[in-house]
Amino acid sequence: MGVITLLGSAQTRLIADLLLNRLGPIELESRSLRVDKPEAFQGDERDVMFMGLVASPEGEDGPKRIGALSKRGDKQRLNVAASRARDQVWVFHSARPEELAGSDFRKAYLEYLAKPSADQLDHGPGEVLPDVRHEAFDSLFEQRVYLALVESGFRVRPQYPVGRYRIDLVVEGGARRLAIECDGDEFHGADQRGDDALRQRELERLGWTFWRVRGSQFFRDPTGSLRPLRELLASLSIEPLVMEATVAVSEEIEAPHVAADLEQKVAAPAEAATLSATTVSPGPAATRVPAGVIPVGRRSLDRLRCEADLLSERLAHGAPHTPGADARIRRAAARTWDKRAEEIEERLTEVRWVLERAHVVDSSQLGNRSWPGAVVKCRSKTTGEEFSVVVSGVDLGGEYEHVSPTAPLGEITAAAEVGATYAFDAPNGSRETVEIISVSD
């Protein structure tokens, strides 16, 4: 715990002496209870902070005007004082907001605290767009990750100050917080990686937990790249502020895909993509295979089997464990898991359907169109970057990036043709274009 006062050293000493007399040195040490000015708490935090904004309108000669704290230094000191608590801030004040000058930062802070919680939660960077730089962020990449989390109902703070450092994004929930760092060559060059690692180690010693996401991963599969983050948030009992606002109680769950749907998904290019006017030369003639089967390569078949095993294992493992969480948090975690379990079951049904009909052929006979489990090499027309992906509902490890089958890029690469160029609307709202370089086993 800690106590911060904004009225100078005299009040600080008075409170420290009173606490020492009341509690004694042993109790103060056991609670790590510190009394000091805002400047002394720079880089330090406490679970619970007590803030003194006491200022009396009465003087020895009668009523007096309370001096305003309106300078730039006053604002910085108040910001430090208000951001030192991990869990709770208890504010003690003797003057009502209307007794303070309009320019007094204490007045704005007390009025903010007096608002209903819903109004406080709306306080943020304002309108944030995926493709227009916002001054509260360091990059468009950070803005897109921010939007993905905010749209799911999480409370997210950009460029969060901790002492002399800043964290790209911080997700808050109750007494828990998670630091998110957005890494990418465009935003964090190689010369900054050492500084980033040092900063993370120092903040981890202060109790912070970090999660990092690469720009290349997020570009290829925005939904899939953030799935581990959502699972981590659930395990930390950091839940969305509004869990049910966007889902009607009577909403029905879609039935699993029937065989005809799966056949169309395997055989036809993704409808979400637009094939540009590109001439595609025909590949080698494929060996005739029995009707009703799906030709695949040997290694592609192994990937499909691995995916099925990992999906089955994930379902068997069940929801993330939330030890010590109260009933409300456990219910929220259960709802999150139920939705994820439905997605896993649907993908597992698709993979098993393919495995029942898979027919292994030589890789030279597979042609120029993607098949289930194939490695698809792409080139981004936006950045020029080349990358190889495998469409999968779970990370298979190895040298290839996995992309979710429900992501726009996953829908494209699941049935793409070599030499073709596809344009699609990414989940972050931007228009992306990729060229298919090769499809291999």
Q: Classify residue 385: in a domain, yes or no.
A: yes
Q: Classify residue 134: in a domain, yes or no.
A: no
Which residue range is the domain that position 8 belongs to? Answer: 2-114
In angstroms, the CA 329 to CA 173 distance is: 10
Q: What is the pLDDT of residue 429?
A: 65
Residue range 296-303: mean pLDDT, rounded = 87
Order of strands across the sheet that contains 2-5 = 34-36, 2-5, 46-53, 85-93
323: confidence class by pLDDT, cuts 50, 70, 90: low
Q: Classify residue 19: in a domain, yes or no.
A: yes
Question: How many domains does the chain fold into?
Answer: 3
Residue range 63-82: mean pLDDT, rounded = 78
* Residues 272 and 208 reside in one and the same domain: no
* Residues 184 and 276 reside in one and the same domain: no
Question: Could you tell me if 224 and 148 are in contact, meaning their C-beta atoms sit under 8 angstroms apart?
Answer: no
Q: Classify residue 250: in a domain, yes or no.
A: no
Element (H, E) at 52: strand 46-53
Residue range 219-248: mean pLDDT, rounded = 73
- Percent of the chain whose predicted confidence (pLDDT) is above 70: 76
Please indicate whether residue 46 or residue 280 has the higher confidence score (pLDDT).
46
Mean confidence (pLDDT) of the chain: 76
Residue range 60-78: mean pLDDT, rounded = 74
145: confidence class by pLDDT, cuts 50, 70, 90: very high
In angstroms, the CA 146 to CA 149 distance is: 5
* Residues 94 and 146 reside in one and the same domain: no
In angstroms, the CA 410 to CA 202 distance is: 38
* Residues 292 and 344 reside in one and the same domain: yes
pTM: 0.41
* Residues 303 and 398 reside in one and the same domain: yes
Encoded tokens for 172 = 């808050």
Whether 208 shows a pLDDT value over 90: the answer reads no
Alpha helical stretches, state H, 25-159: 25-30, 72-82, 105-114, 117-121, 140-150
Whether 279 shows a pLDDT value over 50: the answer reads no
Q: What is the pLDDT of residue 146?
A: 92
CA atoms within 13 A on the CB side of 67: 6
Whether 309 shows a pLDDT value over 50: the answer reads yes
* Residues 290 and 409 reside in one and the same domain: yes
Which domain-ending residue is among 48, 79, 114? Answer: 114
* Residues 179 and 78 reside in one and the same domain: no
* Residues 281 and 390 reside in one and the same domain: yes
Residue range 402-408: mean pLDDT, rounded = 83
* Residues 397 and 306 reside in one and the same domain: yes
Query: Which residues have CB under 8 Å from 2's CB, separation 6+?
Result: 33, 34, 35, 36, 41, 44, 46, 48, 49, 50, 84
Q: What is the pLDDT of residue 360?
A: 84
Q: What is the pLDDT of residue 158?
A: 92
Q: Classify residue 251: in a domain, yes or no.
A: no
Q: What is the pLDDT of residue 180?
A: 94
* Residues 147 and 110 reside in one and the same domain: no
What's the alpha-carbon Rg for the chain, to the nearest Å?
28
279: left (phi over 0), alpha (psi -120 to 50) or beta: beta
